Structures are given as C-alpha cells and as structure tokens.
Amino acid sequence: MTGQTKNIEFPWGHRRRFNAYPDYFRRLFGARVQKVSLDAGFTCPNRDGTKGTGGCTYCSNNAFNPSYCAPDKSVTRQIEEGISFHKKRYREASSYLAYFQAYSNTYSSLERLKELYEEALRYPGIIGLIIGTRPDCIDDQILEYLKELSLNHYVAVEYGIESCYDRTLERINRGHTYKEAADAVRTTSEMGINTGAHFIFGLPGESREEMLAEAEIISHLPLTTVKFHQLQIIRGTAMETEYRKSPAEFSLFTWDDYLDFIIRFLERFNPSIVVERFTGEAPPRYLAERPWSKKRTDQISGLIEKRLEELNTYQGKLYHLPVAPPSLCFGGRSGSR
C-alpha cells in the first residue's frame, strides 16, 4: 500500500474504494434508507407458459425471499412486518423503499400494478419503490406511469440480465437476448427512471476472461445501480440436475478466486455505476453445494474493500472510457453520480 490514494475522495464523493449503495442513498436522501422486500403474488412469463414453463434453470425465488414475505399477506402487512424485522436486526433507518422482489413485478395489468405500488407508497415512511422484473415485461405505458410516480418518489426498475452472452442466456433458459435487456435498460433510463441490473458470475460455459470482459460491456449501459452474484446451485432447480450430471462444465468460484476476480472486474468497471452487492446469500439449507463462504454480505463488502486498499486500487482505475452518467432521479431532485 503506497498510501497515495488513502485520503482522497473518489469521483463518487467519499473515500470508500467503490461506488457503494448505502452511500448513494445517504448522498441522495441525507440519511440511511432500508429496503423492505415484498412478494406481491406475481408470476413470471418464463414460468406460466407465455415465454416458457420451466423458468430459468437456476431459479428458486424461495431461496431469496425473507421470511416476512408471503403473497397471501397484503402489501401493507408485509411492509409492517418487514419494517419491524429490520428494526430488530439492524440499526434503525429513517426511511424505507418498498422492494417488489419476487418473480416479475411488472407482469400484470397497469391497473393492478397501480393498486400494488400505490398501496406501498401510502405506508408511512415508504419513500419509493424498487421494482425487480424481466427485460421483456415492460412497456411504454408502464414506463410512462413510473416516470410520473418518480416525480414525487424514488423509483427504480431493476432488470435481471444475468449474462451479456446470448449462448449463456439460452443455456440457462432466460427466454430473452442480451440486446433485449440492453434495450430495456436504455429505454427506462431515457425516461428518467433509475435503472438497475443483476448479473451472475460463474454461469456454465463462461470462462473467467469472458466474465471479466463483461465489465466493459456493462459499463456502456446507462445504469444507476448494479448487483453481482456468484453462481449458487440451489436445491431442486434444473441447474442442480445439470450440475450433478456434468460437474466439469461448471467452474464454481472459491472465495479466494472470487475476491481476485471481483477486484479485477471492479478496476475495469464504470465508476459512475453504483454497486449494490457483490454476492448473493441463499440460506445454506437451499444450497446443493456447501457455501463457499460463511461470511455475510456486509462482511464480504468489507473484505473486498480491504483488498482494494491493500492493492491501492479502486473501482474504475482501469476504466478508460468517457463517463457520461445519467443523473440521479428523485422527485424533481437530481444530481450527478
């Protein structure tokens, strides 16, 4: 560690070595903001037969749904239980975002979406929505409505993209191409709506170098936030069957490999995109393989940051493209990120 960059403020306005999600909200709202997950009873076109029936081969929504989420409870009740859950486990946040998380949360009529989203926004302390969905489950009508909502609330649409390679998307049965995903991101961002994306590292058939090359591809997208996950093989999924049959086709990361990979990836990644997480954390009982790390997500961020510091490096150190980020959008407030 040379110390050269120890005390500098990075382009994202703080001294952490990556453009971190909690700081993004602190910058935007001046306080800690907590997400409250919801399962509002949506399904998914890749499961109900519209696009496919089996779903993505790795998919198990149960493995990622917090215990308070259940579609038989109203949105209001889930928020109430979610807030009290977070108050017991974490420091108290002053504001909350309703995170429509399970399945495809724009996959319904506009009238139904309005009912659900507006029920969430009526709950005291909820200052906005984060809506997880597929790139092929969005249209101009929904985006127009979300644009209108974003005049007075924080609104973000998060797309599951998972890979930039069509052969991988086909292999994991996503039912859409990378181009469709990139188009959805661009259209959403052009409407002035905060736009996020999820990616998985370690999908079968992808080499480490191909995954690393995604840093540049993703950097070109007009994203506000991004979430990265290491591949976890979840019990009972089609991917578990594939893995049991041909384990040699999978190159699952060890923790040491992943740490090394993520540092190299971050160095090449657009510094204007906020990184929400580096890993997924399914409860061990859902995992077909032993978890590669018993560390919690927040500990992992700390370890990645420590490694960045040891190597005196940071997000975007090797990113050479011009940075032209979209502005932050919240209720008429905006600022560069």
Chain positions contacting ligand SF4, by CB under 6 A: 44, 46-47, 55-56, 59, 61, 103-104, 134, 160
135 CB contacts (<8 Å, ≥6 apart)?
159, 160, 161, 176, 180, 181, 183, 184, 185
d(CA 73, CA 63): 19
Residues 156 and 224 sit within 8 Å (Cβ to Cβ): yes
Partnered with residue 196 across adjacent β-strands are 158, 225
Least separation in angstroms between residue 172's CB and ligand SF4 is 9
312 torsion bin: left (phi>0), alpha (psi -120 to 50), beta (else): left
- 47 or 268: whose CB is closer to ligand SF4? 47
Least separation in angstroms between residue 229's CB and ligand SF4 is 11
Least separation in angstroms between residue 294's CB and ligand SF4 is 25
- 64 or 330: whose CB is closer to ligand SF4? 64
Q: Tokens in use for 173? A: 């049965």
- 60 or 301: whose CB is closer to ligand SF4? 60
- 44 or 274: whose CB is closer to ligand SF4? 44
Question: HEC string of 159-182?
Answer: EEEECCCHHHHHHCCCCCCHHHHH
Secondary element (H or E) of residue 149: helix 140-149
- 55 or 204: whose CB is closer to ligand SF4? 55
Least separation in angstroms between residue 224's CB and ligand SF4 is 20
Least separation in angstroms between residue 52's CB and ligand SF4 is 8
Instruction: Enter the DSSP assignment of 234.
Output: B
- 82 or 160: whose CB is closer to ligand SF4? 160
Least separation in angstroms between residue 102's CB and ligand SF4 is 8
What are residue 128's phi and psi, to 5 degrees?
180, 180
